[in-house]
């Protein structure tokens, strides 16, 4: 499906009203990933609230009917993904090895997961996630281009130490402007949407709804400003913020490209988020990356090598198909506690394109764990080159094991086109209702009309 009109066509073929419970059940039956729901712990109403408890004000709560034992409708994956059921067992197994083996767990592991090889599984899975699907086969990033380490902002600083190397001529950073105020998210549209669910959902499904409405700023901007200051420049001069046009809420790709064309000769780094966390806009990563790499030199009257291009994929990894290697992205970083379900504060990841692997002159932070694993525990200093060699510390077995739950699921889902198997039915469904008058959004009616799934612009609405 790719448009609200196809929602209507499907309803016509099934001879049911698309606003009926029967049609909702039909959509559920066609969801190729629905069986994976049973692999996660779904909070129950009583467990979340407790006796007489109240949720903080940044959550919208709908508890129209049902009892404390019924599962929530959880819509906070953009903040924290749910816990996989396998996670508890995996963590307990690692604690068991630690208790019985001590340091020998690095090599002697009862569950065939020696800690010295802990990178391999999660790196391979992550390479799949940031590689992508082209309709015929997986276009994985090379495992040597991926490392799992640190946290998102920590990795952003680590990568910028290598890829933001300003000069007197090139010192600017181009990025998206600060996100809109929280009222654009928490207004009448979502309230009406939840009321719509209340009216049309089966009683067993809608018992308690959580929606994360906490206001946020563009968090990466803190890192950008501090990096600029670290190098002796002023954010007011060096940080180029691209904003939507007046009266609009999404960035137009043409406007981004125009800023890159205009500021490119003075720009060291172009960096955007893959998916904008407020609007759900999925940026055209390949197009923007190409534009950042190539600039037209007005004096030489020709294209020349331009800027470094990086991506903050906090809301993109596990949410939309990505092909970082194929798109020629210089670097990227992401977190794992949202759509990768690795738990609060879960370990993050980085991608560095293989063409930078032999650039030994490029500054980088390295550490002993980034040495070749065959000589890592020897008292010899080896050369650190590939992305994995930027790992500066011994990885947490517990944090990395939280990502291990993906490994048996990837082959199953890969056969169903991985992330492409999830069609954006939810946004299409509520948009269809909104455009026909059932999901009227009051003052925010325009918001509903600005997220048409037929437009690639905002297709990556948060998956819950």
209 has a pLDDT exceeding 80: no
Neighbours of 308 (CB within 10 A): 23
Query: Tell me: the pLDDT tens digits for 441-460?
Result: 344 443 333 343 344 444 44
Considering the chain, what is the average pLDDT of its residues? 74
153 has a pLDDT exceeding 60: yes
243 has a pLDDT exceeding 80: yes
Which pairs from 11-17 meet CB under 8 Å and 24+ separation?
Answer: none
Higher pLDDT, 342 or 397: 342
Query: Tell me: the pLDDT tens digits for 117-152?
Result: 887 767 777 777 777 433 333 345 677 788 888 899
- The structural domains of the chain, with segments of one domain joined by +, span 4-71+185-212+424-449, 88-179+217-421
Provide the edge-to-edge strand list for the sheet that holds 209-212.
59-62, 209-212, 73-75
Q: What is the pLDDT of residue 116?
A: 84
Beta bridge partners of 332: 311, 351
Q: What is the pLDDT of residue 399?
A: 83
Query: Tell me: the pLDDT tens digits for 353-390?
Result: 988 877 777 877 776 666 666 666 666 665 554 444 45
Higher pLDDT, 188 or 90: 90
Which among 160, 416, 459, 424 has a CA at the least distance from the CA of 315? 459
Rounded distance, CA 220 to CA 17, Å? Answer: 44
Which among 146, 98, 92, 152 has a CA at the least distance from the CA of 121? 146
Q: What is the pLDDT of residue 193?
A: 45
92 has a pLDDT exceeding 70: yes
State pTM to two decimals: 0.79
- Residue 435 near residue 189, CB atoms below 8 Å: no
- Please state the rounded mean pLDDT for residues 299-315: 77
Query: Tell me: the pLDDT tens digits for 4-53?
Result: 567 778 888 889 888 788 888 888 888 777 888 889 999 987 787 666 55
- Residue 346 in tokens: 């879960």
Q: What is the pLDDT of residue 6?
A: 72
Higher pLDDT, 268 or 178: 268
Rounded distance, CA 291 to CA 367, Å? Answer: 34
Q: What is the pLDDT of residue 22?
A: 86
- Please state the rounded mean pLDDT for residues 254-266: 93
Higher pLDDT, 435 or 326: 326
**Hey, what CATH topology would domain 88-179+217-421 get?**
3.40.640
């Amino acid at each position: 499906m790719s448009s609200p009109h196809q929602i209507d066509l499907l309803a016509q073929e099934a001879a049911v009203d698309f606003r009926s419970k029967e049609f909702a059940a039909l959509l559920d039956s066609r969801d190729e990933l629905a069986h994976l729901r049973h692999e996660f712990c779904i909070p129950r109403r009583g467990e979340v609230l407790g006796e007489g408890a109240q949720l903080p004000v940044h959550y919208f709560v709908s508890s129209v009917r049902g009892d404390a034992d019924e599962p929530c409708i959880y819509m906070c994956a953009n903040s924290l993904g749910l816990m996989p059921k396998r996670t508890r067992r995996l963590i307990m197994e690692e604690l068991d090895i630690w208790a019985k083996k001590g340091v020998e767990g690095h090599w002697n592991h009862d569950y065939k997961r020696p800690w010295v090889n802990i990178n391999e599984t999660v790196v391979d899975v992550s390479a799949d996630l940031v590689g992508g699907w082209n309709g015929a086969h997986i276009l994985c990033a090379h495992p040597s281009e991926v490392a799992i380490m640190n946290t998102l902002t920590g990795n952003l600083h680590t990568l910028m130490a290598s890829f933001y190397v300003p000069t007197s001529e090139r010192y600017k950073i181009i990025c998206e402007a600060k996100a809109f105020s929280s009222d654009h998210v928490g207004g009448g549209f979502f309230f009406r949407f939840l009321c719509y669910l209340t009216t049309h959902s089966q009683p067993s499904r809608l018992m308690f709804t959580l929606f994360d409405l906490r206001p946020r700023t563009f968090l990466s901007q803190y890192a950008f400003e501090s990096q600029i200051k670290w190098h002796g420049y002023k954010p007011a001069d060096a940080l180029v913020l691209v904003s939507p046009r007046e009266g609009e809420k999404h960035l137009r790709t043409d406007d981004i490209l125009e800023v890159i064309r205009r500021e490119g000769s003075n720009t060291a780094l172009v960096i955007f988020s893959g998916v904008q966390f407020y609007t759900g806009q999925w940026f055209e990563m390949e197009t923007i990356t190409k534009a950042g790499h190539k600039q037209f030199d007005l004096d030489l009257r020709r294209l020349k090598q331009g800027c470094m291009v990086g991506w903050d994929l906090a809301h993109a990894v596990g949410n939309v198909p990505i092909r970082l290697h194929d798109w020629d992205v210089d670097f990227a970083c992401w977190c794992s506690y949202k759509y990768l379900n690795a738990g609060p504060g879960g370990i993050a990841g980085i991608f560095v394109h293989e063409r930078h692997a032999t650039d030994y002159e490029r500054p980088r932070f390295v550490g002993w764990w980034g040495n070749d694993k065959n000589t890592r525990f020897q008292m010899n200093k080896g050369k650190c080159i590939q992305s994995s060699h930027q790992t500066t510390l011994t990885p947490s077995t517990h944090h990395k094991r939280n990502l291990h739950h993906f490994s048996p699921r990837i082959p199953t889902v890969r056969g169903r086109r991985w992330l492409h198997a999830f069609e954006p039915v939810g946004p299409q469904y509520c948009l269809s209702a909104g455009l026909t008058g059932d999901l009227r959004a009051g003052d925010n009616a325009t918001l509903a009309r600005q997220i048409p799934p037929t437009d690639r612009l905002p297709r990556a609405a948060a998956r819950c």
